[in-house]
Structure 1
Amino acid sequence: MRPRVLCGVLAAVALSVTACGGGGDDGAGDTADGTRPGFPVTVSDCEGKKTTFHRPPEKIVTSNASGLEMLFWLGVGDKVVGTGFPPGEGTLPARFADRAEEVPVLGRTVIAKERLLGSGADLYVDAFSSMKNMGGAAEGPRAEEFQAAGIKHVYLRSTACAGRSTGKREDLSGVEEDITELGRLTGTSERAAELVSGMRKKTGAVRSAIAGVPASERPTYFFFDYDAGTKQPLAVCGRQVANAVITMAGARNVFAGCDGDFKPVGWEDVVAANPDWIQLGVRNRGSERANEEAFDEAADFLRGHPATKGLTAVREGRLLRIGSERTTIGGVRSADTVREIAHALYPDRVKR
């Protein structure tokens, strides 16, 4: 399986700070013991291990474009000194594109351990953790190696901890918690609150618009991860953030009942589910034209495959062209994906 390129997110509220905002950190206002006002801040990882910050980080490395974009939305993009899985051209909102190009790429996929430890960072924002399909991402530096390098290691738990969570994800609360937590540890809590409020406004409007549609009458939905391979489809399960996006948009994920976040299934399972809608989950190719060609390829595959050409969604052309990253990786723009899917399913109820 090719590495899952990750990407992030769009808010309803206008930016009150720029992508390069956040200001300097000259130590003004520190207490006698070096603690910044509003600190200490303590966060925990997927297993409950705690990390405490006494002041905002100065140099941040992100594992991929999702963490990178969250930091841009929070206004601390100037603190980022490196990333793995860099965003492709056109992946991030236009307002962040120029700054994103300036961020050093420490790894086209997973950052090599030696390069991460030698980056000079004091914070590593990790979206992978136990995600075994990330090309060995779980085999990064050990805790003692991070400590020796002076790097504090935190996770985007909505993604990294998905495989260890319990129950289905049916809302974006986990993503909102990631944004809130990053806001706390970077000293941008007020901005984080604005972003979360904007997300809730969008998803709340969708919820109100489709409130009259009984759960049993909501259309069934299959997220087709075209880039994960076509020989055997990879299902989005109930613990994956995409299940929350699909559910909030008023659809029923046909594989919501499978255990974990992702799970290989058979085409016979997709045929048995016969979804009303299929999302063509294509990863960003770097340009609108290249993306459209990839969507065409995914649609042509479904129309030509003996097992799928007779599916209701395929026969009736109910194939949504919405990128993988925006659906399977949590961020501010997850709320926009909810609204986009809902508009396709309920055009008379949910407007663009």
Structure 2
Amino acid sequence: MPARFLPAAALGAALALPAAAETTYPLSLTNCGVDLTFDKAPESAVTVGQAATEILYSLGLGDKVLGTSVWFTKVLPEFEELNSKVERLADNDPSFESVVNRKPDLVAVQYEWHVGPQGIVATREQFADVGIPTYILPADCWKKDNTTGSDGTRQALFEMKSVYAGVTELGRIFNVPDKGEELVATLKSREAAAIEKARALNLTGASALFWFSSAEMDVDPYVAGRKGPPGYMMEKLGLRNVVESDEEWPTVSWETIARANPSVIVVARMERRRFPADDVEKKLEFLKTDPVASQMDAVKNNRIVILDAHSMDPSIRNVTALETLAEALPAFGLK
């Protein structure tokens, strides 16, 4: 992230870091259960997942990105010009051929299900067979079982250090370890400040619901389970998640949600249009007009927060989501 976008305290923390030594190759690491060895820094990459794309951009590696895919929202504003020059292979899931045809030295992946045993794009073995290593962001397999549930099941509460691990490892892989450490230091500083601000409210009985999308407007919505990134945000901000599932994004009926009556509803805004409820305006209209959803206190009192969808999945944007929520909560008069 360019210095001009950093808060003064965060910038000071970043500048105070000692310069990291260059990566020593060969570099060996274990990534989501697969051993990887890099004899040198990759000269090029293709990304499958917006989180991986924005990490590489933030590390100053945009010139090495040959193609991107799987986008939920617009790219971070500071990277709009850079991103406009990078080929978008697909808005959603790219084909194996489209990735391989770019002949990247590395494929950086956000979700294991894109390149796992039942990979939607291909398996890691298929990529290895054509000489292309794959790196999955650790946050998607960190204390998580991706063989259960549509998006996997977390075995422990999400930790931001899983995101920071991906930043640090990609910095080492591409021989820019100093940039990785600077970015992590900045994010940690901002994360701590947002948590401190929210904790000062001393919330004890407030609850929340995170609504990502719905396959159809009148069916059970995809909402955040209690152990994913939104669960982490709620725990840090003093909010109780009304959804008790450990699945990443379970479906829960509106009748069940209404009975839980969350104090705050957080809805996802995205550019993707795979499902009708991807449109945030349709979400808001549903909440106001549905006979069940409209009766919740959060809807009646307009205690609704809009977040970029990508900030609800493991990514460097989780810190921005924390900041947005910490800014919004004081106005709601919660206890």
How far apart, in 2, do the equivalents of 1:125 and 1:259 lie?
26
CA RMSD of aligned residues (A): 2.9
Alignment partner, residue 301 of structure 1: 286
State the one-letter code of the partner of 2:231.
Answer: N
Cα distance in 2 for residues equivalent to 1:99 and 1:277: 36
Post-superposition CA distance 1:196-216 (Å, at most 9, x none): 111111121123234455563
Aligned equivalent of 1:238, options 226, 244, 261: 226
1:55-94 alignment, distance < 5 Å? 55-86=40-71, 91-94=74-77
Match of 1:153 in 2: 134
**Counterparts in 2 of 1:107 and 1:197: CA distance versus 1, 3 Å:** same
Cα deviations across residues 100-127 of structure 1 (Å, max 9, x unaligned)? 1111122231111122223201100111
- Summarize the Cα distance change of 1:71–1:228 in structure 2 as closer, same or farther, 3 Å threshold: farther
Q: Residue 321 and residue 215 in structure 1: after superposition, are their counterparts in 2 closer, same or farther (change >3 A)?
A: closer
- Once superposed, which parts of structure 1, at least 4 consecutive aligned residues long, lie more than 4 Å away? 10-15, 212-215
What's 1:41 paired with? 27
Q: Which residue of 2 aligns with 1:251?
A: 239
Aligned to 1:276: 263
- The amino acid across from 1:167 in the alignment is A
CA distance in 2, matches of 1:272, 1:11: 42
Q: Distance in 1 between matches of 2:129 and 2:34?
A: 18
CA distance in 1, matches of 2:28, 2:234: 32
Among residues 307, 319, 322, which one is paired with 2:304 in the alignment? 319
- The alignment-based identity, stated in percent, is 22
Q: Find out whether 1:338 has 2:326 as its counterpart.
A: no
Distance 1:148 1:65, change over 3 A: same
Query: Separation in 1 of the partners of 2:332 and 2:288?
Result: 28
Q: TM-score, normalised by structure 1?
A: 0.78
Describe the superposition over 1:157-178 as per-residue Cα deviations: whole angstroms up to 9, x where unpaired: 2135543542122x41211111
Deviation at 1:37, TM superposition (A): 4.8
Residues 137-216 of structure 1 correspond to what in structure 2 (within 5 A)?
138-159=119-140, 162=144, 163=152, 165-169=154-158, 171-214=159-202, 216=204
Alignment pair present for 1:262 and 2:249 = yes
Cα distance, 1:58 vs. partner? 0.7
Structure 1 gaps, min length 5: 1-9, 16-35, 287-292
Change (3 A) 1:172 1:104: same
Q: Is the 8 A contact 1:86 1:105 kept in 2?
A: no
How far the C-alpha of 1:128 sits from its partner, in A, is: 1.7
Distance (whole Å) between structure 2 residues aligned to residue 323 and residue 207 of structure 1 = 19
Are residues 228 and 245 of structure 1, via their aligned partners in 2, closer, same or farther at CA, if it must alter by over 3 Å?
farther
2:17 maps to: none
1:282 shift after superposition: 2.2
The runs of 5 or more residues in structure 2 that have no matched partner are 13-21, 145-151
Any conservation in 2 of the 1:220–1:254 contact (CA below 8 Å)? Answer: yes
Shift in Å, 1:64:
2.2
**CA positional deviation for 1:312:** 0.6
Q: Is the 8 A contact 1:125 1:153 kept in 2?
A: yes
2:195–2:322 Cα contact (<8 Å) kept: no
TM-score (norm 2): 0.81
**Cα pair 1:159 1:241 within 8 Å, conserved:** no
Instruction: Say which SS state the counterpart of residue 205 (structure 1) adopts.
Output: helix
Question: Relative contact order (alpha carbons < 8 A, sep ≥ 6): 1 or 2 greater?
Answer: 1
